[in-house]
């Protein structure tokens, strides 16, 4: 049976190759920092389950120390744009075929593995399919484009170094969410929100619920973390039980009000900061800025939807 452990093994190997290649990159003034950083990521993927909780904690502190004290940089590399244009003409649209192998495998795997629960653990089908898609695309790439063996990993490492420590942010923020949960941050926020609801005003309660979802999502970076808090504080006691609101509308649209918050916060790093790094944008908040004027009107729409349709 293929489990997530296999995928971690693969991911660890990829990070280890990035680390080894980084060590040899003499154009990078901080190559030891880069090698140590990706090497620790490889260790986490390979052996995370054997390090123990405290050991994993120390591993995180080491990663943060390297990144936080400016230990990461990137090589100067060489510009090969003329070469790229020539190859683009030679390989033509076959490049798109290889690019589409990953999403198509993810798509096919999601269906096939769901039907074969003995082969792959069903709730891990997506990640296993993604890994499988990468292996397929890579094999096809080697067969069709005939690069030197290390070329994909050299190029991949270049991209990885340009993303840098931002690559780790989503995982770090998810971990912070777990510490918040342990410390009971959600309960305290829930109590605060309850005190802030205007007495006897249905509109006020809907506003507090919708805005609270968006704001607390912005703080937590994740609507899933905000939702139980807001439902327990306002959604259930006030909107559903107090005013007799339809739970389907209150919950479904409330969650989407939270998603509007996700569009506006650096805490949702994998959606907002990582793409800025991946696209090499000057301003790391550029993606958030591009989203604000979609998110705000949409938040107003969601609040209006709850007010108009939950209490028919």
Partner 1 sequence: MWVLLGIVVIVAGFVLRFNPLLVIVAAASVTGIAAGLDLSAIIAAFGKAFNDARYISIVWIVLPVIGLLEANGLQERARALIGRMKGATVGRLLTGYLLFRQLTSAVGLTSVAGHAQTVRPLVAPMAEAAAGEQSDEVRAMAAATDNVGLFFGEDIFLAIGSILLMKGLLEQYGIILEPFELSVWAIPTAIAAFLIHGFRLWRFDRRSRPAA
- Site residues for partner 1, 16-45, by CB under 8 A, read 41, 44-45
Contact indicator for 134, 102 with CB cutoff of 8 Å: yes
Least separation, in Å, of the C-beta of 79 and partner 1?
A: 12
User: Any idea which residue has 């005190």 for tokens?
Assistant: 195
Position of tokens 């998810």? 174
CA-to-CA dists, residue 305 to 42, 100, 102, 131, 298, angstroms: 47, 38, 38, 40, 10
| Contacting partner 1 within 93-122 (CB under 8 A) | 93, 95-96, 98-99, 102-103, 106-107, 110
The C-alpha atoms of residue 202 and residue 208 are separated, in whole angstroms, by 10
Q: Which two tokens stand for residue 303?
A: 């609040």
| Residues 211-230 close enough to bind partner 1 by CB under 8 A | 219, 223-224, 227-228
Min dist CB 188 to partner 1, Å, is: 6
Distance CA 230, CA 288 (A): 24
Question: Smallest distance, Å, CB 290 to partner 1?
Answer: 4
Instruction: Report in angstroms how near the CB of residue 194 gets to partner 1 at its nearest.
Output: 14
Q: Which residue has the tokens 């926020």?
A: 189
Q: Is 92 helix (H, G, I), strand (E, B) or coil?
A: coil
Spatial contact of 235 and 197, defined as CB atoms under 8 Å apart? no
Distances (CA, A) of 232 to 45, 213, 226: 36, 12, 10
**Contacts of residue 255, Cβ cutoff 8 Å, sequence gap at least 6:** 213, 223, 227
From 3, 119, 184, 243, residue interacting with partner 1 (rule: CB under 8 A) = 184
Radius of gyration of the chain (CA): 23
Contact 245, 238 (CB under 8 A): no
CB of residue 178 vs partner 1: minimum separation in angstroms? Answer: 3
- Given 76, 183, 196, 198, the residue binding partner 1 (CB under 8 A): 183
Size of the site for partner 1 (CB under 8 A): 137
Task: Select from 16, 207, 278, 311 the one that contacts partner 1 (CB under 8 A).
Answer: 278
Q: Which of 169, 193, 197, 238 is close enough to bind partner 1 by CB under 8 A?
A: 169
Q: Does residue 234 interact with partner 1 by CB under 8 A?
A: no
Supply 131's token pair: 């890994």
Q: How far apart are CA 266 and CA 275, in angstroms?
A: 11
Nearer to partner 1, 179 or 200 (CB): 179
Instruction: State the residue for tokens 């399919």.
Output: 129
Q: Does 233 participate in binding partner 1 (rule CB under 8 A)?
A: no
Q: Which of 3, 29, 84, 198 binds partner 1 (CB under 8 A)?
A: 84
- Span of 25-33, 197-205, 206-214, 288-296 interacting with partner 1 by CB under 8 A: 288-296
Candidate list 29, 117, 155, 243; residue touching partner 1; CB under 8 A: 155
Q: Which is nearer to partner 1, 197 or 277 (CB)?
A: 277
- Among residues 20, 23, 112, 281, the one that binds partner 1 under rule CB under 8 A: 281
Q: Report in angstroms how near the CB of residue 29 gets to partner 1 at its nearest.
A: 18
Give 13 or 201: the residue with its C-beta nearer to partner 1. Answer: 13
49 part of the interface to partner 1, by CB under 8 A: yes
Site mask for partner 1 (CB under 8 A), range 250-269, x = bound: -xxx-xx--x--xx--xx-x
Could you say which of 197, 226, 231, 233 contacts partner 1 (CB under 8 A)? 231
d(CA 264, CA 119): 40
């Amino acid at each position: 049976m293929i489990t997530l452990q296999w995928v971690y093994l693969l991911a660890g190997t990829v990070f280890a190759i990035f680390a080894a290649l980084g060590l040899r990159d003499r154009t990078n003034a901080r190559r030891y920092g880069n090698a140590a950083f990706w090497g620790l990521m490889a260790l986490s993927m390979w052996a995370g389950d054997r390090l123990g909780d405290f050991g994993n904690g120390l591993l995180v502190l080491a990663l943060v120390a390297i990144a936080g004290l400016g230990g990461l940089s990137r090589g100067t590399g060489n510009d090969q744009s003329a070469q790229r244009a020539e190859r683009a003409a030679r390989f033509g649209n076959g490049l798109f075929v290889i690019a589409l192998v990953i999403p198509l495998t993810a798509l096919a795997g999601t269906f096939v593995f769901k039907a074969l629960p003995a082969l792959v653990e069903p709730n891990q089908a997506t990640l296993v399919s993604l890994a499988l898609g990468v292996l397929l695309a890579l094999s096809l790439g080697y067969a069709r484009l005939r690069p030197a063996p290390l070329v994909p990993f050299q190029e991949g490492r270049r991209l990885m170094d340009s993303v840098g420590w931002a690559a780790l942010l989503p995982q770090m923020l998810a971990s912070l969410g777990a510490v918040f949960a342990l410390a009971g941050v959600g309960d305290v926020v829930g109590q605060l929100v309850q005190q802030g609801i205007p007495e006897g005003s249905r509109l006020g309660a809907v506003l507090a619920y919708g805005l609270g979802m968006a704001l607390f999502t912005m703080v937590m970076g994740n609507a899933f973390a905000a939702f139980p808090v807001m439902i327990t504080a306002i959604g259930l006691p006030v909107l559903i039980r107090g005013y007799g609101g339809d739970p389907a509308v209150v919950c479904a649209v409330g969650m989407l009000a939270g998603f509007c918050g996700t569009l506006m916060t650096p805490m949702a790093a994998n959606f907002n900061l990582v793409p800025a790094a991946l696209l090499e944008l000057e301003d790391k908040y550029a993606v958030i800025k591009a989203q604000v004027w979609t998110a705000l009107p949409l938040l107003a729409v969601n609040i209006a939807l709850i007010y108009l349709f939950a209490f028919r």
